[in-house]
């Protein structure tokens, strides 16, 4: 599986939160031949099961989210311009003059648009250094009336996403929605590995929905499966650029990160404090295999595992692998290819080494 071609394909698939059907279909097409069981729940979460050995094997789940940040059309002006609301953490600062795909309400096609940006020659001095709020932003799709917009199949409720733009940049890749298509890539790489590798445990590969919107939509899947352990695969902001240098020890090219705490940073949204023994299990594998690994503690990030750890009757031991990513939630996210490959390798090794001998108990 060529990493460049695969991630390019994944980032080209539009899958805004709540509109993940194209990605769901793609995942099904990729795994229907290899998985022992393939299940799609009513939310849209996809679970591919690879059965372990014996009558009652332990189970471990690996999961990553299929959705991407986006916008939704909330109003069509009589003059044909579109007004938007954010779906997930789209930063307003990146939007002026940005090219966007505006999808028809039925999701079958899209039209290209551009976010309006006041002509430089007529921008007032006080607005030259300000970021427009979302209620000031509009999209131009070349229509001159509301009726013309509707005739294209675009309506209130249409989803809006960044334009596909994958490219190579040195030993890095740059694209929209690397968060979390890199994680999806590692799950597909693990699926390919499990076709031939021996593994004691039953392995669940879970492709989740709506992480960017509410980070809770995967909970029914974990309540249904109640695996003995689970590992989330997502991104973490790299702090190796000039404006973030030194904020956290997270950099491109230094390997996948094993997370020790993440937290949204405000309110009751919480975060994850992973199972210490599951982290130790991953650390020991990385050490034995001489793999580069980073350790992560970050405030301002929250992912699926913040809530899925609470699923079932006793909770689920969780760990989290992060792939460092620059320029998160922008149309030009950047990651190191080697970090992605290291993450996939650690997942493959841990899936095959996980068994009843792995002690995840607390208090001893």
DSSP letters along 119-167, please?
Answer: -GGG--GGGTT-PPPGGG-EEE-S-SSHHHHHHTT--TT-EEEEPP--E
CA distances from 322 to 64, 236, 315 (A): 11, 6, 22
pLDDT at residue 76 greater than cutoff 80: yes
- The pLDDT value recorded for residue 270 is 81
Alpha helices in 157-199 (DSSP H): 178-194
CA distance 172 to 252: 9
Largest CA distance in the chain: 73
More confident residue, 301 or 42: 42
Q: Is 356 helix (H, G, I), strand (E, B) or coil?
A: coil
Average pLDDT value for the chain: 94
- The pLDDT value recorded for residue 269 is 66
pLDDT of 265-318, one tens digit each? 776 668 899 999 999 999 999 999 999 999 999 888 888 888 899 888 999 999
Q: Looking at the whole model, is its pTM more than 0.85?
A: yes
* Whether residue 211 lies in the annotated active site: yes
pLDDT of 213-253, one tens digit each? 998 899 999 999 999 999 999 999 999 999 998 888 899 99
Helix (H) and strand (E) counts in the chain: 9, 18
Q: What average pLDDT does range 67-82 have in this prediction?
A: 98
CA distances from 297 to 11, 71, 85, 332 (A): 27, 30, 31, 24
Spatial CA neighbour of 239 closest among 305, 304, 328, 302: 328
Q: What percent of the chain has pLDDT over 70?
A: 99
Report strand pairing: 167-169 vs 172-175.
Answer: antiparallel
Q: How many CA atoms lie within 13 A of 4 on its CB side?
A: 9
Give DSSP secondary structure letters for 284-352.
HHHHHTT--EEEEEEES---THHHHTT-TTT---EEEEEEEEBSTTSSSEEEEHHHHHHHHHHHHHHHH
Report strand pairing: 229-237 vs 59-65.
Answer: parallel
- The pLDDT value recorded for residue 54 is 79
- In terms of Cβ atoms closer than 10 Å to its own Cβ (0-12, 13-18, 19+), residue 172 is middle
More confident residue, 84 or 265: 84
Spatial CA neighbour of 187 closest among 351, 344, 52, 26: 344
Q: How many CA atoms lie within 13 A of 257 on its CB side?
A: 25
Which residue in the list 20, 68, 211, 345 is annotated as catalytic?
211
Structure tokens at 222: 């974990």
CA distance 232 to 282: 13
CB 176 within 8 A of CB 122: no
pLDDT at residue 146 greater than cutoff 80: yes
CA distance 256 to 306: 20
- The pLDDT value recorded for residue 301 is 87
CB 100 within 8 A of CB 113: yes
pLDDT at residue 361 greater than cutoff 80: yes
Phi and psi for 199 in degrees, rounded to 5?
A: -150, 130
CB 316 within 8 A of CB 230: yes
pLDDT at residue 93 greater than cutoff 70: yes
Q: What average pLDDT does range 35-42 have in this prediction?
A: 97
- The pLDDT value recorded for residue 307 is 87
CA distances from 344 to 56, 62, 134, 156, 185 (A): 27, 11, 37, 40, 8
């Amino acid at each position: 599986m060529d990493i460049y071609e695969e991630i390019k394909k994944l980032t080209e698939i539009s899958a805004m939160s709540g509109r993940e059907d194209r990605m769901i279909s793609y995942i099904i097409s990729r795994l229907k031949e290899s998985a022992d069981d393939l299940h799609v729940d009513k939310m849209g979460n996809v679970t591919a099961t690879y059965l372990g050995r014996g009558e009652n094997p332990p189970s471990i789940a690996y999961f990553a989210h299929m959705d991407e940040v986006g916008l939704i059309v909330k109003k069509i002006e009589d003059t044909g311009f579109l007004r938007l609301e954010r779906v997930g953490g789209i930063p307003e600062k990146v939007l002026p003059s940005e090219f966007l795909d505006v999808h028809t309400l039925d999701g079958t096609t899209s039209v290209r648009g551009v976010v309006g940006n006041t002509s430089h020659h007529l921008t007032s001095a006080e607005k030259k250094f300000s970021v427009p709020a979302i209620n000031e932003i509009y999209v131009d799709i070349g229509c001159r009336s509301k009726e013309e917009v509707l005739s294209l199949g675009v309506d209130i409720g249409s989803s809006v996403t960044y334009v596909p733009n994958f490219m190579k940049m040195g030993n890095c890749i740059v694209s929209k929605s690397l968060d979390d298509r890199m994680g999806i890539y590692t799950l597909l790489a693990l699926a390919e590995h499990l076709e031939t590798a021996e593994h004691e445990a039953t392995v669940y590969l879970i492709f989740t929905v709506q992480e960017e919107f509410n980070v809770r939509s995967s909970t029914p899947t974990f309540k249904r499966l109640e695996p003995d352990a689970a590992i989330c695969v997502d991104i973490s902001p790299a702090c190796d650029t000039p404006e973030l240098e030194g904020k956290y020890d997270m950099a491109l090219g230094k390997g996948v990160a094993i997370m020790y705490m993440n937290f949204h940073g405000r309110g009751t949204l919480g975060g994850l404090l992973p199972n210490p023994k599951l982290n130790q299990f991953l650390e020991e594998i990385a050490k034995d295999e001489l793999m580069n690994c980073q350790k992560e503690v970050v405030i301002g990030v929250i992912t699926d595992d913040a809530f899925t750890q609470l699923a079932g009757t006793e909770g689920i031991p969780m760990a989290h692998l992060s792939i460092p990513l620059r320029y998160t939630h922008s149309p030009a996210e950047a990651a190191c290819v080697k970090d992605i490959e290291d993450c996939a390798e650690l997942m493959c090794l841990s899936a095959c080494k996980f068994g009843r001998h792995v002690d995840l108990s607390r208090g001893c």
